[in-house]
Amino acid sequence: MPLVRIDSKRHPDPTHLPRVGQVVYAALRATINVPEHDNFQVLTEHDDDRLVNDPQYLGIARTDGQVFIQITLSEGRTVDQKKALYLAIAEGLNREAGVRKEDVFINLVEVRKENWSFGNGIAQYAI
């Protein structure tokens, strides 16, 4: 049920952003039990002046290679599951896509299950 939005600056390699999406999906499956085929993503590249980050907020040295990941998902995951997800994404992006761990920005947005419709105008998870 997650909806993942990934934003980054335009990359010279056209496979870069899809690889980022694959890493995020694999981390979701491995850490918070997202089922197979539950993969919905919006991948967006931006011109240089369309993404803003503070290069030193919280003492983390960021570069222009920053990747923003926002994941909307149903509420109910533990803090430990969320921490495992963040780490799996950062390590996976570093290993598989060459993104510095310092440049991985993740935001989770938790919603109630009745706030989803996957098609046909039906709230599939509403109880």
pLDDT along the chain (127 residues), means of 10: 95 96 98 96 94 94 95 96 98 98 98 93 88
In this predicted structure, what is the pLDDT of residue 127?
Answer: 74
Determine, yes or no, domain membership for 69.
yes
Reference 41, options 27, 59, 51, 52; nearest CA is 27
Determine, yes or no, domain membership for 125.
no
Q: Check the CA dihedral 74-75-76-77 and report its sign.
A: positive
Residue 52's domain comprises 3-115
| Overall number of domains in the chain | 1
In this predicted structure, what is the pLDDT of residue 126?
Answer: 87
Determine, yes or no, domain membership for 124.
no
In this predicted structure, what is the pLDDT of residue 1?
Answer: 82
In this predicted structure, what is the pLDDT of residue 7?
Answer: 98
Query: How far apart are alpha carbons 25 and 43 in whole angstroms?
Result: 12
Determine, yes or no, domain membership for 120.
no
Q: Check the CA dihedral 6-27-34-108 and report its sign.
A: negative
Determine, yes or no, domain membership for 51.
yes
Query: How far apart are alpha carbons 89 and 4 in whole angstroms?
Result: 12
- What Cα–Cα distance (Å) separates residue 21 from each residue in 28, 68, 76, 84? 11, 11, 23, 17
